[in-house]
Structures are given as structure tokens and as C-alpha cells.
Amino acid sequence: GRVNRLFARRVNAVACGTWPTELPAGVEGVHTGNPVRSAILESAAAPYTPPGDGPLSLLVIGGSQGARILSDFVPHAIAMLPDTLKRNIRVAHQARGEDEARVRAFYGENEIEAEVAPFFQDVPKRIANAQLVISRAGASSIADISVIGRPSILVPFAAAAADHQTANARALVEAEAAILIPERKLEPAALSEQIETILSQPAAADQMAQNALAAGRPDATERLVTLVETLAAKGKA
């Protein structure tokens, strides 16, 4: 955020993890994408199973420590879904340690099958298996979701510097791969409606997955290396 803005005018090119990216006038941006870890690459472009009459996997992730606002609203939104849809949903919900017990209890009280934990070791596999991902919009999360290619509902962290999480989400939203809900507008009924819309329209969900995949940059590391080597060859690195 602030460091990038400070140095942007002093470099020959800015490697951009998301696109479009707002840059100062006269600054060249290159869309390299954000490099992702090997576990994500192993699931890159994994075939997507559109929602149907069978089990529906819904993954809720909120960054490295979970997000309280997702724990406050997502379970209630799922509980409001029609019974014909709700009974097929299998939730994997990353919740902060202090929220874990109440989130698990709520799912249980509402007869929603759910796995709740402060951290999942196998997030790449869970993204690949999901029909829908509900997530914050950190740069790494956006990269992971797009490289694997899954529909998502994104809730940017409102307190992020310069609202950069909303900027991160822009590419997926404009590609019609994701739905963005600002924190100030997040409430159970509206979220439930969006979840139902995606999970009850297989063709549209599949198109969202394909759009996400098209926006991904699985070769981000190679693109970044090429940019550095190109600048070095010109004596600008």
C-alpha cells in the first residue's frame, strides 16, 4: 500500500498482482499476477463440479486467522436457505479460535453439516472441492481462487489501507467470476440470497468458475522473473 505508492515513481516498472491497478500518472504497470505456492499449482484448473442435487461444498475462509464478520453472518445466511438446498450443503468454515465453539454450535443447532476450525492445512484441496468459496479479498486469496478457478463471494476487509481489498477483488468481479459484498452492506438475508443464486444455477456457477480461471495467473512467478530479467538486460533493474 503506502510503500508501493512511495516507490512507484522511482522505478521503471511495477509488477502488479491484480489488474486493473491504480498507479500514479506516468508509472508503467505490468500484470504479472501474484505467485502462488506449489500446493495451489497442484490444484490449478482442477475440474469444477457445478452444483446439483448431490452434496454441495461451501468453503468459508478469512485470511490466516479467520474473519469474525464472516463467523457472525455466514452461518445465519446458510440457515436461511431453502431446506431443499440447505440439507445438501457441507460447510468448511475457518473461524477465529475465540469464535470456533459458537460457530460450530450454531451449525449444529440448525442441522447444518459443518467442519469448523481456526486453520485448515489443506486449503488448496478445499478450494478445488468447493462449489462456492466465501472469502476476504486479500491478494493471496484472490490469486488462489482464480488459479484454481472457483465461484466466490468476496467480503473485503473494510479497514484495509486505501481499501485495497476492494481493489483486489475488482478483476474477478468485472470478469463476472465473483460477487462483492462490502462489509457495510453485509447482512444474512442478502448473503443468503446470493448463495442461493449461485448454488441453484449450475450453468451460471460453472461460467463463474471458468471466468475465475481465465483471470488467474498460474505462471505469475515466471512472469515476474521475465520482467526482472528484461529490465536487467536494459540496465534498469
Task: Measure the CA dihedral 79/121/117/62, to 10°.
Answer: -60
Q: Can you count the helices (H) and strands (E) in the chain?
A: 11, 8
| Across 152-160, average pLDDT | 91
Which stretch of DSSP H or E encloses residue 46?
Answer: none
Superfamily of domain 42-215: Glycogen Phosphorylase B; (3.40.50.2000)
- Rounded to the nearest 10 degrees, what angle do helices 100-109 and 68-79 cross at? 0
Label residue 12 by pLDDT band (50, 70, 90). confident
Quote the mean pLDDT of the chain. 93
Domain ranges of the chain: 42-215
For residues 2 and 23, what is the distance between their CA atoms, to the nearest angstrom? 12
pLDDT digits (tens, 9 = 90+) for 106-116: 999 999 999 99
DSSP secondary-structure letter at 14?
E
Per-residue pLDDT for 7 more than 80? no
Tens digits of residue pLDDT in 178-232 = 999 999 999 999 999 999 999 999 999 999 999 999 999 999 999 999 999 999 9
The Cα–Cα gap between 88 and 56 comes to 6
Average pLDDT value for residue range 43-57: 97
Give residues with Cβ within 8 angstroms of 167, minimum separation 6: 18, 21, 22
